[in-house]
Amino acid sequence: MKIKKSIINDYLIRNQSSKNEYKLRVLKILIRLKFVDSFHLLNIIFRIKKLSSFCKIKNKCFFTSRNKSIYSKIKLSRIKLKEYINNGLIIGFSKYSW
């Protein structure tokens, strides 16, 4: 149950951070140009970052939810990747033996 919950939370954070990325950039530009009160804008930025921060996003294996040693293009851990390559389930990879 914990694994499913962590996957859902990670998915929600990814969506929120991608939605709020444009807002954050605009607010930071406004602060640099000093058009508006910067204190008010900083409060808005901190509120947005609290809900959706890129730092909270963790790459996880699609099948095992392992968060270490992940191949980012395939979204698989090294253990599952090796298992699928040996079984021939992933196209384009082969086992080299000498």
Q: How far apart are CA 82 and CA 71, in angstroms?
A: 11
Per CATH, the homologous superfamily of domain 59-98 is Ribosomal Protein S14/S29 (4.10.830.10)
Q: In sequence order, what are the beta bridge partners of 76?
A: 71
- Specify the pLDDT at position 54: 67
Q: pTM of the prediction?
A: 0.52
In this prediction, residue 22 carries a pLDDT of: 80
pLDDT of residue 3: 66
The domains of the chain are located at 1-58, 59-98
d(CA 77, CA 71): 6
Tokens of residue 63, six digits: 């099948």
Residue-level pLDDT, tens digit, the chain, 98 residues: 566 777 777 778 778 777 788 888 888 888 888 777 777 787 777 777 766 666 667 778 878 878 888 887 888 888 888 888 888 888 887 777 65
